[in-house]
Structure 1
Amino acid sequence: MNTFDPVPALSTCWASENCQSAADLLDQIRKTGFDKLELEYRLTTPILQDLLPELKPRGLKISSIHNFCPLPLDMDPALAGGDLFNLASRDKETRQRAVSLTTSCLEMASDLEVERLVLHLGWVEGLENKQVIKLAAGESASSAELTRQLEYRNQLAPAFRDAVSFSLEKLFKRAEPLGVVLGIENRYHAFEIPDLTEAQLLLKRFKGAPLGHWHDLGHALVQQAAGLPGPDKWLTAFGRDLVGCHLHDTLAEKDHLPPGQGDASWPDLLPLLVDSPCFVMEVHPGPEPDEIKESAQMITELLHNTHAQKTKGKEAHEDSSGGGGHGKGQPGTLTP
């Protein structure tokens, strides 16, 4: 059983884009006070090779790795992203490249004794309009366009769900013996995979496989603002399958802000996430180290208090039911 740790890790995405060396990156991380990191896809191979030997001497641990890490040597850094290759592509060659790179990432995670790999599963090709969700979440009267996109998506999606299932089956064969869990992330855009129904289907289809839900809180909040299922729906469905979460704030369609600098009601949201075994602040470049540190302190305090309240409530319930802890539970229900 994992010991509860309310202190989040920091995704290197906050600094990696603007750092030209591992030394630069480590200096920026030092200013935030974090001692846990999520390594992500903006890290180039040379920087990662210089970074890894420096982590342990500096007391830094790796909480998780975000696919595709590191950036392949033949790729332009400007193209770096978790969607670099489509695991759901109907093109066999594209899908095989995505699986091959993900397998390399799994092996690196195992070598580094990291238990979690965050995946973007890909997208339904032919629907790559990135303005639909942004406009709907920003209340720009585009809900009709979003509805049209979703209807078209539903027609096209089955073939891409089958394709991503092929990819996952291949990845499980490597992930299971390595002891690494694949966390499938809920995404920002409506054309991306999985939506809520697809996530339910995949987790049911592959029950028992090294697979779980990686909850991106900011993405769920943006989709909620656009009229789609929000954090409560996702976490009610997948609370027991949660393998980690990305924490960042939102303002309408804008995401990846430091927690506390947006519209998110953290005291209401964190009880839904308190059972997560891994918390990662995923903030984009821009905020100063002190802002990152302040957000982390807020998150840590709220998570600590939320967990303490939940533990106290659970103990009181067990005492009232005879102390054996055998009272009737509600499977799949989150207890704030």
Structure 2
Amino acid sequence: MQHIDKGIYSFSTCWNIRKHDVGEDMIREIADLGFRRVELNYNVTKEMLTTIEPMIERGEIGISSVHNTFPHDPDPDYGTDSILLGFEDEVKRKRAIELLVESAEYAQRYGGEAVVVHPGEVPFPEDISKDLGKIYNEEGPDSLKYRSKWAELMERREALSSGYVEKIIASLDEVCNRTAAKGLDVRFGIETRSRPQQIPTLAEAKTIITALKGAPVGIWYDTGHAIMMDRLGLYDSVGEMQGLMDDIVGVHIHETLGLSDHWCPYVHSKDMNFYDAYLPMIRRAQVKVYELKSACKAEEIHESHDLLMKKLGVTE
């Protein structure tokens, strides 16, 4: 059964990619929800594209955006949780630049408006975000144990982040020069991330965007990730965004339960007010994408979208 047209709103393939081997089947399931546009995420393979591309060519589906690294690259050095554009190793950094340019080429080919970019992170010898999450859930953010581990994270982050930010700026500058030379008309959205050692904070995003003034680089405001970073104590996800409102390229729409993300706004939290603070970012974004987990059911997605449209004052 085809549900009501979701208009300009797009839907990420992260929702159902793990249940499909054939790209066309994955896209048809999303289209059956009423979405005319999709975001192709970083797990979409070249093999999947062989059946998705004909659908794009026939006008059966539109592409709003692709998520770097695209198509899927199995090398963890260029995965979603890596140093990526901040590599000090020049060979690796150049490779990361090439992969981002390739993502932009795919976006242009498919009529997409933007590429979602994970810029990089401050590397840690252990997964400190996992340790922090465990302490947060078991003892709370006000506990001595949490504050001690958080101080450990921030000491290393603050000591090293500026060097990685500089590398990211240089990498994005090269990417933009290369895509301009190729005549590509897509924007790059540097995404708010889900782990506190990852770049950017909102202040770092402003630094990067300001340094690249005039380039097609802005922020990709992932609402759920920003909520998590706010809860952990990395930044003020609403207050600090005010200085970035003119720089929003796109948004990922999802809500969090504690530190668990990618849930349907309003529906899973049962809170009819909390997510309202993020509506101005959604309004401002050029590209609006639901990024939900597979546990979200079709009827919950429809209910969440209806609630969001009412909150935004959109009549369908």
TM-score by length of 1: 0.81
Equivalence for 1:270: 279
Equivalence for 2:89: 91
Equivalence for 2:188: 182
Worse overlay, 290-299 or 176-185? 290-299
Query: Number of aligned pairs?
Result: 299
DSSP 3-state at the match of 1:71: coil
Pair 1:191-2:192 in alignment? no
Task: Report if aligned partners of 1:244, 1:278 keep a CA contact under 8 Å in 2.
Answer: yes
Letter aligned with residue 304 of structure 1: G
Task: Report if aligned partners of 1:12, 1:38 keep a CA contact under 8 Å in 2.
Answer: yes
Letter aligned with residue 122 of structure 2: V
Letter aligned with residue 238 of structure 2: D
DSSP 3-state at the match of 1:126: coil
Equivalence for 2:3: none
Equivalence for 1:310: none
Task: Report if aligned partners of 1:85, 1:97 keep a CA contact under 8 Å in 2.
Answer: no
When residues 235 and 136 of structure 1 are mapped into structure 2, their CA distance, relative to the original with a 3 A threshold, is farther
Structure 1, unmatched stretches of 5+, are 308-336
Moved over 6 A (4+): none
Equivalence for 1:16: 17
Letter aligned with residue 302 of structure 1: K
Larger radius of gyration between Structure 1 and Structure 2? 1
Task: Report if aligned partners of 1:90, 1:159 keep a CA contact under 8 Å in 2.
Answer: no
Letter aligned with residue 115 of structure 2: L
Letter aligned with residue 280 of structure 1: V
TM-score by length of 2: 0.86
Task: Report if aligned partners of 1:109, 1:180 keep a CA contact under 8 Å in 2.
Answer: yes
RMSD across aligned positions (CA): 2.4
Q: State the alpha-carbon separation in 2 of the partners of residues 36 and 231 from structure 1.
A: 27
Equivalence for 1:114: 112
Residue deviations 1:227-257 (CA, integer Å, cap 9, x gap)? 2323313420200011110010101111111
Pair 1:212-2:211 in alignment? no
Deviation of residue 272 (structure 1)?
A: 4.1
Deviation of residue 293 (structure 1)?
A: 2.2
Letter aligned with residue 246 of structure 2: R
Q: Which has the higher contact order (CA 8 A, sep 6+)?
A: 1
Worse overlay, 261-270 or 89-98? 261-270
Deviation of residue 125 (structure 1)?
A: 1.7
Letter aligned with residue 283 of structure 1: L
Q: State the alpha-carbon separation in 2 of the partners of residues 28 and 79 from structure 1.
A: 31
Worse overlay, 116-125 or 18-27? 18-27
Q: Determine which of 147, 150, 153 is the counterpart of 1:149.
A: 153
Deviation of residue 134 (structure 1)?
A: 2.3
